[in-house]
Amino acid sequence: MENRSIFALDGITGMLIATVLLLSILVGLTVWGLGVQQGSANNFYQIQNEKEIQMISTENATHKIDVK
């Protein structure tokens, strides 16, 4: 005979644990993303020698310079 319980980990308790875990991951990633976004918003860069930028070139990254 099986011991069935509504508060077993595969019942309401398990569902609540999974919901709280997923919501805490969501909150953590949101806070982390907002921090990264605010840090990037204050990091300005300038393009130098715009006329020398080619459509397909690995040297295009050298034209971007951090102003900060």
- Has residue 1 got a pLDDT over 60? no
Q: Are 63 and 49 in contact (CB under 8 A)?
A: yes
pTM of the predicted structure, to 2 decimals: 0.58
What is the CB neighbour count within 10 angstroms for residue 13?
13
Strands (DSSP E) contained in the chain are 45-47, 64-66
For the segment 5-60, what is each residue's pLDDT rounded down to a tens digit? 666 677 788 889 999 999 999 999 999 999 999 988 887 888 888 888 888 888 87
- Has residue 63 got a pLDDT over 80? no
- Strand pairing partners for 65? 46
